[in-house]
Amino acid sequence: MEAVGGARGAVLRVAVGLALLLVTACGDLGGRAHTEARPQVSRAVVKVTPGNATENVAPADELRVDAIHGELTRVAVRGSDGRVVPGRFSRDRRSWLPDHPPALATAYTVDAVAVDASGREAARHSTFTTLVPKDTFKGFYTPEHGSTVGVGMPVSVRFNRPITDRAAVERGITVTAEPAVEVAAHWFGNRRLDVRPREYWLPGTRVTLRMRLKDVEGGPGVYGTQTRTVRFTVGRSMVSTVDAAAHTMTVRRNGRVVKVLPITAGSPRNTTYNGRMVITDRYELTRMNGDTVGFGGEYDIPDVPHAMRLTDSGTFIHGNYWAPQETFGTANVSHGCIGLQDVKSGDREAKGVVPAARSLTGRTPAAWFYTHSMSGDVVEVVNSHDRTVAADNGLNGWNMDWPTWVAGSALTR
């Protein structure tokens, strides 16, 4: 009995030992499996500027994504308008910067991924919203899109608010030409920017104005709203020379004299400006009232025919039906305008008056000149006893020499 019991005990002890060994082995395997499944944390950290949930981000505020202890593999910035903000990685891929600032009044999401030296990824999701501006500015441009203009027409942009950061706004306005020609911008005060070439445009030139002013800060807290492309074409060359002393106007088209017309210029008391002036507006009939230009009640003519504006201050070249015919070519009697012989348009009842329809056919000097003119044509006055017209009085920057014109750019300073 004892032998048997001893054998059974030995067998039992062996069985228990094997069981303990199996339990221990299973425990070791389970421990190793648990250790191997534990997630490995990346050393890389993604940092987004501005921080998550930041509001009222201005265009001047920096937008960037950086990787700390790693390299960026993916960055996606998307606005609530559905547009993706393009950008570029640095050479070492430790940072990302946008190609342009985010748009105003927009919510953005940023999703970025970086990897550490072991290839372990780290991701970041962040949001921010941009500033909703209280004040905006807009530029009103000349000439109009699709127009055909004379060789003297500059590009002129007038702003509805004062511009204090002229360089930023000027960078947002570009003018190019085909065939290519050098152009330069000049600021007249803080509300007007003109662009022109050194000399008149060549006939046939195609000019493109690009205004990329949206979200440009023109002054403290004042942002632009425009993204616009304007194209116009330069027509034939027509430059007319008014000799105030000889009382004549010589009209040249493409450099050739096509007409010499008798005129009356400003009287000795109210002389006409000298200098080069560009036709800006054209009216078959318009009212001219001395009260509007500082002449009080000296005149008020409700139906001045064939009128073309040369200055903002009120200089026109226009038809004149009230002066005797012998005045033209012999005397200067106007209040500073250039007068061409014409008829009283619309007065078909008056004796000896040619109906307006006949006038518009070009049979009078004024009607002929009006019919053959366009905005952008140049009228140059010489030999008048007056100063040269100011460059900003109308579109008359041609009276400024090129070095002075170029110096008026905010970017040259």
Averaged pLDDT for residues 14-38 = 45
* Residue scoring higher pLDDT (9 or 249): 249
Range of weakest confidence among 94-103, 186-195, 310-319, 349-358? 349-358
Is pLDDT of 239 > 80? yes
Using DSSP, state whether 397 is helix, strand or coil. helix
* Residue scoring higher pLDDT (228 or 353): 228
Domain regions of the chain by residue span: 45-130, 135-235, 238-390
Distance, in Å, from the CA atom of 307 to the CA atom of 127, rounded to the nearest integer, reads 59
CATH topology of domain 135-235: Immunoglobulin-like (2.60.40)
Instruction: Quote the pTM value.
Output: 0.80
User: Could you tell me the pLDDT band of residue 37, with boundaries at 50, 70 and 90?
Assistant: low
CA distances from 63 to 47, 51, 76, 78, 81 (A): 11, 10, 12, 13, 18
User: What does the pLDDT read at residue 202?
Assistant: 98
Q: Does domain 238-390 have CATH number 2.40.440.10?
A: yes
Residue of 318, 335, 372, 385 marked active site = 318
Beta bridge partners of 232: 207
Residue of 186, 247, 306, 337 marked active site = 337
Is pLDDT of 412 > 90? no
Residue with token string 């082995």:
25
Is pLDDT of 11 > 80? no
Quick one: 190 exposed, middle or buried, by C-beta within 10 A (0-12, 13-18, 19+)?
Answer: middle
Q: Does domain 45-130 have CATH number 3.30.390.30?
A: no
User: Could you tell me the pLDDT band of residue 25, with boundaries at 50, 70 and 90?
Assistant: very low
**Residue 318 annotated among the catalytic residues of the structure:** yes
User: What does the pLDDT read at residue 39?
Assistant: 61
Can you spell out the DSSP letters for 312-356?
A: TTS-EEEEESSS-GGGTTT---BSS-EEEE---TT--SSTTPPPH
**What does the mean pLDDT of the chain come to?**
88
**Residue 26 annotated among the catalytic residues of the structure:** no
Q: Do domains 45-130 and 238-390 have the same CATH topology?
A: no
User: What does the pLDDT read at residue 38?
Assistant: 55
Distance, in Å, from the CA atom of 401 to the CA atom of 196, rounded to the nearest integer, reads 12
